Amino acid sequence: MARPRPEPIQVVKHRRDAALRALVDGVPYIRFLNISFDRRGDELTGVLNFDDKLIGNPLLPAIHGGVTAAFLEVTAVITLSWEHMFPRIESGQIDADAIMTDKSIRFPKTIDFTVDYLRSGLPRDAYARAFINRAGRRYASVRVEAWQDHHSKLFAQGTGHFLMPQNRTDKS
């Protein structure tokens, strides 16, 4: 019995990138903050692209604490959503065009989110990576780290708990 031939890597990469782009572009607040995601294999890195509107204290200048918290939470939610949807994206059950329009596709909901501000966010691009501590059927726990120039010098970190989406049995 012959194995089916695998898809060309360009097709797989295009499908993954289109799904991630649809996931990120479907949320207006993510677009407003100009957050993007860099995907390398199965690892996502959030990028908060610097803009003057992100400054909270012009005397320092420093990135606003609310922007920092939102960046950490967005990184956690997108990473958790990506991990949750990835098998269905790979199998073709979820098309990139359907991610934001299909009512059966649901996203994790934040239960709580705690941020530790370790130092001021400088007026430059920031990066964040989320680590899923636990992701069950109903609940997930995620830790997020944010840095700017050096990954070893975090400027903020966060921990969040999320209610995982339940599969819908009806199509209403």
Q: What is the DSSP string of the chain?
A: -PPPPPPPHHHHHHHHHHHHHHHHHT-HHHHHHTEEEEEETTEEEEEE---GGGEEETTTTEE-HHHHHHHHHHHHHHHHHHHHHHHHHHHTSS-GGGTTT-TT----EEEEEEEEE-SPPPSS-EEEEEEEEEE-SSEEEEEEEEESS-TTSEEEEEEEEEEPPPPPSS--
Task: Give the lowest-confidence range in 3-12, 73-82, 96-105.
Answer: 96-105
Residue range 113-140, pLDDT digits in tens:
999 999 999 999 999 999 999 999 999 9
pTM > 0.95: yes or no = no
